[in-house]
Structure 1
Amino acid sequence: MCAVLLLAAACSGGGPAGERQSARDTPRAGSSDAGKNADGDVMTSKNVRQVAHVPRAAPLDGDMDWNTDLAFQGDYAFVGNFGGFTIYDISDPKQPKTVSQVSCPAQQNDVSVHGDLLVLSVDEPRSGEGCDSNADVRDWEGLRIFDISDKKSPKYVTAVRTDCGSHTHTMVPAGETLYVYVSSPGPEPDSKTCPPPHEIIQVVEIPTKSPKDAKVVASPEIFPDHQDTDFAAGCHDITAYPEKKLAAAACFGDGVLLDISDPVRPKVLQQFRDTENFEIWHSATFNNDATKVIFSDELGGGSQATCDSRTPRTKGANAIYDLKDGKLERRGYFKIGREQQEVENCVAHNGSLIPVPGKDVMVQAWYQGGVSVWDFTDSAKPREIGFFERGPYGGGGDIAGSWSAYYYNGYIYSSDIREGLDVLEIDDPLTDPAKKVRMPDFNVQTQKTY
């Protein structure tokens, strides 16, 4: 769910005191100094520890085989990668085991799972829909669908072409039909795959008993006031909350609140902007009772160092909105307060709620700013309660760090672009009640009440 590749191709106060640990080993006690080594050593707050690490492995460990998004189902974690995807057995979170890897190159291969189906987002024109396609010919982009009934041997099923491809996607299940909202940037004049105009999202219908029949069934325009951004039109990311019949869309220059009572015909409830503080509306997260929405700003598209004293704390941050009488009102901002080096790309990125009943707590990736756990129960006074981060990757200057950090059944899983899969545990009175919550599956862009 990142805009960094688009650019490559074309607050809160300080956090808790930290301690160092090996980037590869389980934690050990260390210094309370909150600074960082330049050799990549891990630093954590005292209430967070790294319990497992699995490096990227062939064939998905090339220089541009970046780890991307995460999804979960039962005892399995699914990690997208620019080269394909990996399935891990996490029945023992402290000893994840690789079950299978599928080579299927494309940008950016964001992943979600539903029943026996896995869906990948392809945001790159390629010669064809199959995994054997290449980027030399720019004829096709969209969604790829796999059968994962056998986790050891996933099978390609079909693909669906969508305008401007699929940067990210969001599942909205409806009985035996799975609707998928496709978000993508555009347009690109003279492009075969991304013609202007592009002020739409697209809705793909996947019959779960006949996924080969998947097709685009709607292309709703969700910008009554139209978009006005130099970056791109269309949406970057949509989070759906089907139980509440709501969705929140981060659409580059706009935030949009949607009524999804009819998933094929979403209705705009509110469209709003923050041109002073937001550059790229990146993603959205509801709190558990849907009385708040967090919108994040991916200032610089993920490639820049924005977690420093030169960048205002309201930029490259999270904006906290309260939802009252059907309208969103901004109440506060949150940004990590730990100063990052000028060689570390750092900005708000993918995160999820930690299921603490009666509280609003979130874990979030910040690229080379690491992983942050923060409390926004008081919308106007959010605070960081824990963190995990490494020093600059490769001496600095490279795109690296945590792409996605999500909480699932007692542990935090971080998909690190270069380093691989990290498993973290937080031991804190505020988050301890979440350890009792068990989810059968978890796709972050499709929220469920816990």
Structure 2
Amino acid sequence: MASSPMPTPPPRSWRSTLKRGAVALTGATALVASLLAPSAASADPAFTSDADTSANVTHIANVPKTEVMSDFNSDLAFTGDYAIGGNYNGFVIYDISTPESPTVVSEVLCPGGQGDVSVSGDLLYFSVDYARASDECGAPSVPTSDPNGFEGIRIFDISDKENPEYVAAVRTDCGSHTNTLVPGKDGEHEYIYVSSYSPSANFPNCQPPHDKISIIEVPIDDPASAQVIDAPVLFPEGGYRNTSGCHDITVYPKHDIAAGACMGDGILMDISDPAAPVVTDVVQDTNFAFWHSATFTNDGATVMFTDELGGGGGATCLESIGSERGANAIYTIDGFKKGEPELSFEGYFKIPRMQGSTENCVAHNGSLIPVPGRDFFVQSWYQGGVSVIDFNDPSDPQEIGYFDRGPIDDSRLVLGGSWSAYYYNGYVYSSDITRGLDVIKLEDPRFRVAEQVHMSEFNPQSQPEYRPGRGNGR
């Protein structure tokens, strides 16, 4: 799902961001930017990489941000030949049928915070965690202290990729910083786990202790009637370091398990009933500042958590910080096959490439490289770039490839870099906060079998089980 608590400019009026090439539609329809000219919304055919890469990594394309999506890029989701990119101004739909020259199909101008995205068939779920005057896309920002302010989930119909339509909105306590898609067992419903945090007695819609998540049930044939059905308390006795909600949750429906990254705590959950998750284990780590996200191995027997030290805006890939802070922590799941899972710490991983003091750098969003029976991971590190990691030995993970640009500014710390990096149908797609969408090819014999894994849909926070050949995903 993913994403970070980072400093952002003050919310701006949506009218000030409506630029050339955008069409404002009101009422029940989303604010949708028209199809942009290829020169303004596609990869440069004479592309030359500005990144340093290892010998087994090739940077093949970059699609710069447009004026409409002038704010920060955030997370990614995938459906068919399309990538959906979140942005603080809304979301972008990219055509990636030709990965060497992706193009922008449409842009939906609908501000509301970092804009975490999940996709399910023709539906897109979009997180709103900056209060707006109403649930409409054109509503201006309002203070979080406004009791009528809207935060939560917006639902869009993206069956027509050039003209997405706004379907519905669901308000949730404390809004939605991230969201996680969970398929239902009956084939008639699906669920959205909504993660949010940082309550305050001054926020009428986000009251402490907020030791819970919100669960939205979506009838697949009637998404407009989606509603919150429960808000289970995950920390009835309070969490470590005053945990008040979760940052992100990753589910593995095949094995009925989920891992929650919840501020001061890492948790494991049983989701055999997706409408009623149950916490089965909780761990803390004094080296972790902020439990941010999680990824399971393909066999479900290991999970990697990330620590977003500094909230994503700090320069933490420095010798003075060390290798155990702002890093990944790897846990094996003891008793996994017996139905009595417990987390057991194995080791840390942090990129060995030291970055400068003007480069925000910390562990962030990534996904497995789908090599069945082996454990490889691709991960974003903001201005630390993209790392390719071998963690087949969870106690001694190693970087085996990388993509790394130089600092945005040599003289001062400027927020930027890769927010998310995910492997999808033979390529790595990286959402760069300021530079747009990057496409990367892994030229390594260890990953050849991954090219046989074809997905029809991919939400990184809703993990599929990978199998060689076609038929993976939904």
- For residue 317 of structure 1, report the CA deviation from its aligned partner: 0.3
Cα separation, 2, equivalents of 1:370 and 1:227: 32
Amino acid at match of 2:6: L
Query: Which residue does 1:250 correspond to in 2?
Result: 261
Q: 1:142 to 1:196 in 2, by over 3 A?
A: same
Task: Give the one of 155, 164, 168 matched to 1:154.
Answer: 164
Partner residue of 1:330 out of 345, 350, 371: 345
The correspondence for 2:62, drawn from 50, 53, 56, is 53
- Write the distance in 1 (CA, Å) between the matches of 2:7 and 2:293: 16
Paired amino acid for 1:248: A
Using the size of structure 2 for normalisation, the TM-score is: 0.86
In the TM superposition, structure 1's runs of 4+ consecutive aligned residues that sit over 4 Å from their partners are: 6-9, 23-28
* In 2, Cα distance between equivalents of 1:345 and 1:262: 39
Distance in 2 separating the partners of 1:120 and 1:189: 26
**CA distance in structure 2 between the partners assigned to 1:171 and 1:186 by the alignment:** 22
2:298 is equivalent to residue 288 of structure 1: yes
Corresponding residue SS for 1:430 = helix
Structure 1 residue 3: deviation in Å? 2.8
Q: What CA distance in whole angstroms lies between the structure 1 residues aligned with 2:241 and 2:154?
A: 29
Cα distance per residue 1:143-170 (max 9 Å; x no partner): 0100001000000111110000001010
Asked if structure 1 preserves the Cα contact closer than 8 Å seen for 2:3 and 2:75, the reply is: no
Provide the residue aligned with 1:198 in structure 2: 210
Which blocks of at least 5 consecutive residues in structure 1 are unaligned? 10-22, 29-40
Q: Deviations over 1:331-380 (max 9, x none)?
A: 01100010100000000000000001211000000000000010101111
User: Where in structure 2 are the equivalents of 1:17-416 lying within 5 Å?
Assistant: 26=47, 41-61=50-70, 65-137=71-143, 138=146, 139-174=149-184, 175-229=187-241, 233-275=244-286, 277-325=287-335, 326-395=341-410, 396-416=412-432
Distance 1:26 1:358 in 2: 36
Mapped contact 1:223–1:271 kept (Cα < 8 A): no
Secondary structure at the aligned position of 1:300 is classed as: helix
Structure 2 Cα separation of the partners of residues 397 and 67 of structure 1: 18
1:438 is paired with a residue of what secondary structure?
strand
TM superposition score normalised by structure 1: 0.91
Q: Which runs of 5+ in 2 are unaligned?
A: 11-43, 336-340, 467-474
Separation in structure 2 between the aligned mates of residue 42 and residue 415 of structure 1, nearest angstrom: 15
- Cα 1:26/1:386, change in 2 over 3 Å: farther
How many angstroms does 1:413 deviate by?
Answer: 0.1
Would you say the 8 A contact 1:82–1:107 is kept in 2?
Answer: yes
CA distance in 1: counterparts of 2:313 and 2:45, whole angstroms:
25
Which residue matches 2:6? 5
The SS at the match of 2:454 is coil
How much has 1:228 moved relative to structure 2?
Answer: 3.0
Map of 1:427 onto structure 2? 443
Displacement after TM superposition at 1:433 (Å): 1.4
Conserved in 2, the CA contact under 8 Å of 1:27 and 1:49? Answer: no
Conserved in 1, the CA contact under 8 Å of 2:358 and 2:409?
no
Deviates more, 1:140-149 or 1:395-404: 395-404
Contact 2:249 2:293 in 1 (8 A): yes
CA contact (8 A) 1:140 1:193 kept: no
Q: Distance in 2 between matches of 1:292 and 1:408?
A: 21
Deviation at 1:7, TM superposition (A): 8.7
**Amino acid in structure 1 at the alignment position of 2:227:** K
- For each residue in 1:5-64, what CA deviation from the matched residue of structure 2 results, as whole angstroms up to 9, or x when unmatched? 26988xxxxxxxxxxxxx996467xxxxxxxxxxxx411111111111000012112xxx
Larger relative contact order, structure 1 or 2 (CA cutoff 8 Å, min sep 6)? 1
Deviation at 1:250, TM superposition (A): 0.3
How far 1:2 moved relative to its partner? 2.8
CA displacement at 1:420 relative to structure 2: 0.0
**Which string of whole-angstrom CA distances, capped at 9 and with x for unpartnered residues, describes residues 113-166 of structure 1?**
001100111111111111111113541101010000100000011111000000
What secondary structure, in the 3-state scheme, does the structure 2 residue paired with 1:434 have?
helix
1:388 is paired with a residue whose SS is strand
What is the percentage of aligned positions where both structures have the same residue? Answer: 53
